[in-house]
Amino acid sequence: MKALSQKRRHPLAAIALLVLGLMLTGGLYAVVTTVNQAKADTTTFTAGQAHEGEKLFVANCATCHGLGAKGTENGPSLAGVGAAAVSFQVGTGRMPMQMQGPQALQKPAQFNADQTNELAAYVATLGNGPGIPEAQYLDGKGDATKGGELFRVNCAMCHNAAAAGGALTRGKFAPALAGVSNDHIYEAMVTGPQNMPVFNDANITPEGKRDIITFLNTIEHQGSPGGAALGSLGPVSEGLFLWTAVLGVVIGFTVWLTSRTS
């Protein structure tokens, strides 16, 4: 102790302390993040989580989905939908629903990550269903070409070839996919939220889903080489832009051209 107190005025002490501090925070951070990752990797939840989740469920979800999530007129039974469905629906703010409508809309998430996990843990106890996706399929390092091909065959008809979204019948729609996190994309494919069909692993393999995610990440981040994309909506937005902005500028010039100077 004495030696330490003597040395604390050493010119190098401050540096040593700084290094120590940095290493400590870094180490702690590493531990914490690996813990988090481990959590995400596994689909096993603790009984405590499920218990907490049940409380949350009764307070927030049972109105529509019924006690024990058996379903009512206003909401389907959740037996067998799996943790992935909860992670998607609650994680993207679609659930709890604000009001009944053609389909649940995305909005700011009502529950934090822990609460979402607890709810997922509870719903997972109700029956077997798709679990939280494994991180190895979410890294966006697959084959973008393959993913693009799969996307065009299986997804583009609703979500548009540039993932800009599209209309379904009677007020329903397929949302744009820019800004949707990789795990939510994966969960949507395996659970088929709302009117979206389910793409199980026999239909599109986990590797295929990884490729699709890679493709979506690629086109989202590469930007539009030709300039502003006008919403990537195709000829309609191009025609509208031409008739308003371009023709407006042309008319402006014709008026200037034929007016007299002062």
Partner 1 sequence: MGNHSDGTPASSGAVAKAGHEEVEKFQDPGLPPHRLRLADTDPKAAKRAERQVAILFGISVIGTLLFFFAYFGIRLDQTLTTLQLQNMFLGLGVGFAMLGIGTGIVHWARALMPDHEVSEERHALRTEDDRVAAVQIVDDIIEETGIKRRPLIRNTLIGAMALAPLPAIAILRDLGPLPGNDLHHTLWKAGERLARDPDGTPIKAADVTNGSVFHVIPESLNNLTEGKLEEKAKAAVLLVRLDPSELHPSPGREDWSYNGIVAHSKICTHVGCPVALYEQQTHHLLCPCHQSTFDLTQECKVIFGPAVRPLPQLPITVDSEGYLVAQSDFHEPVGPSFWERG
Partner 2 sequence: MSSATQSPYKAKTSTGRITDFVDQRVGGSGILREFGRKVFPDHWSFMFGEVALYTFVILLLSGTFLTLFFDPSMAETHYNGSYVPLKGLQMSVAYDSTLNISFDVRGGLFMRQVHHWSALLFVAAVSVHMLRVFFTGAFRKPRELNWVVGGILLIMSMAEGFTGYSLPDDLLSGNGLRIIDGVIMAIPVVGTYISFFLFGGEFPGTVIISRLYMFHIMLIPAIILLLVAVHLFMVVVHKHTQYPGPGRSDRNVVGYPLGPVYAAKAGGFFFIIFGIIAFVAALFTINPIWNYGPYDPSPISAGTQPDWYIGWVDGALRLMPGWLFNIPMEWNIPLPWGVNTLSLNILLPALVPAGIVFILLFTYPWIERWVTRDDREHHVLDRPRNAPTRTAIGVSGFIFYCVMWAAASSDLIATHFQVSLNDVTYWLRALFFAGPILGFIVTKRVALALQRKDREIALHGRETGRIVRLPHGEFQEMHAQLDDYKRYRLVSYESPVAEEGIPNENGIVTKTEKRRAALSRFFFEDRVAPATPAELEAGHGHHEAIESAEEHKPVSRY
Using CB under 8 A as the criterion, which residues of the chain lie in contact with partner 1 when the complex forms?
149-150, 153-154, 157-158, 166, 168-169, 172, 192, 194-200, 202-203, 222-227, 256-257, 259-262
In angstroms, the CA 222 to CA 205 distance is: 25
In angstroms, the CA 92 to CA 248 distance is: 40
Contacted entry of partner 1, partner 2, none for residue 40, CB cut-off 5 to 8 Å set by kind: none
- Candidates 114, 153, 197, 198: give the one binding partner 2 (CB under 8 A): 153
As measured in angstroms, the least distance from the Cβ of 220 to partner 2 is 11
- Candidates 157, 198, 201, 203: give the one binding partner 2 (CB under 8 A): 157
Task: Please check whether residue 63 is in contact with residue 99, taking contact to mean a CB–CB distance below 8 angstroms.
Answer: no
| Nearest in space to 141 (alpha carbons), one of 187, 205, 207 | 207
Task: Please check whether residue 230 is in contact with residue 241, taking contact to mean a CB–CB distance below 8 angstroms.
Answer: yes
In angstroms, the CA 88 to CA 181 distance is: 10
Q: How many residues bind partner 2, per CB under 8 A?
A: 59
- Tell me which DSSP letter residue 246 carries: I
- Candidates 11, 108, 179, 226: give the one binding partner 2 (CB under 8 A): 226
Instruction: Give the amino acid at 136.
Output: Q
As measured in angstroms, the least distance from the Cβ of 204 to partner 1 is 9
Based on the shown chain and the rule CB under 8 A, indicate whether residue 16 belongs to the binding site for partner 2. Answer: no
For 174, the 3-state DSSP assignment is: strand
- Candidates 159, 184, 209, 210: give the one binding partner 2 (CB under 8 A): 159
As measured in angstroms, the least distance from the Cβ of 118 to partner 1 is 26
